[in-house]
Structure 1
Amino acid sequence: MLPIEDFSSSIRSSAMASLPAYLAFFCLENAVRELINDRLSELHGAEWWDVKASSALRKKVEDRRDKEGANRWHVARGAHAIYYTDFGDLRSLLQNNWPDFEDLFPDQNWVLSRIGELELSRNVIAHSNTLDEREMIRIRLYLQDWIKQVG
Structure 2
Amino acid sequence: MTNMLLEADLDLIEKKYQVDLGRGTDKASQIEDAYYPQFDAALRIEAHSMAKHYEVFYCLEKSIRQLIVDVFEGTEDPNWWENLVPEVVRINAKKSIKREKEAAVTPRSSDPIDYTTFGELGEIIKANWSLFGGVVFNDQKAMEKVMFALNSLRNPIAHCSLLAEDEVLRLELALRDWFRITS
CA offset digits 1:63-109 (Å, max 9, x no partner): 1111111233x222222111000000001001111111002212001
Tell me the distance in 2 between the aligned counterparts of 1:47 and 1:25.
28
Q: Distance in 1 between matches of 2:58 and 2:74?
A: 24
Superposition map of 1:1-151 within 5 A: 1=29, 2=32, 3-72=35-104, 74-103=105-134, 104-147=136-179, 149-150=181-182
Give the TM-score of the pair, scaled to structure 1. Answer: 0.90
**Structure 2, unpaired ranges of 5+:** 1-28
Distance in 2 between residues matched to 1:46 and 1:147, nearest whole Å: 29
Q: Provide the C-alpha distance between the structure 2 equivalents of 1:112 and 1:125, rounded to a whole number of angstroms.
A: 20
Mapped contact 2:71–2:131 kept (Cα < 8 A): yes
Report the alpha carbon displacement of residue 145 of structure 1 after superposing the two structures with TM. Answer: 3.8
Instruction: Specify the SS of the correspondent of 1:128.
Output: coil
Q: What is the distance in 2 between the residues matched to 1:106 and 1:38?
A: 18
- Separation in structure 2 between the aligned mates of residue 59 and residue 49 of structure 1, nearest angstrom: 11
Superposed displacement of residue 21, structure 1: 0.8
SS of residue matched to 1:43: coil
Larger relative contact order (Cα-Cα within 8 Å, sequence gap ≥ 6): 1
Moved more, 92-101 or 3-12: 3-12
Residues 24 and 83 from structure 1, CA distance in 2 versus in 1: closer, same or farther, beyond 3 angstroms?
same
Matched residues, percent identical?
29
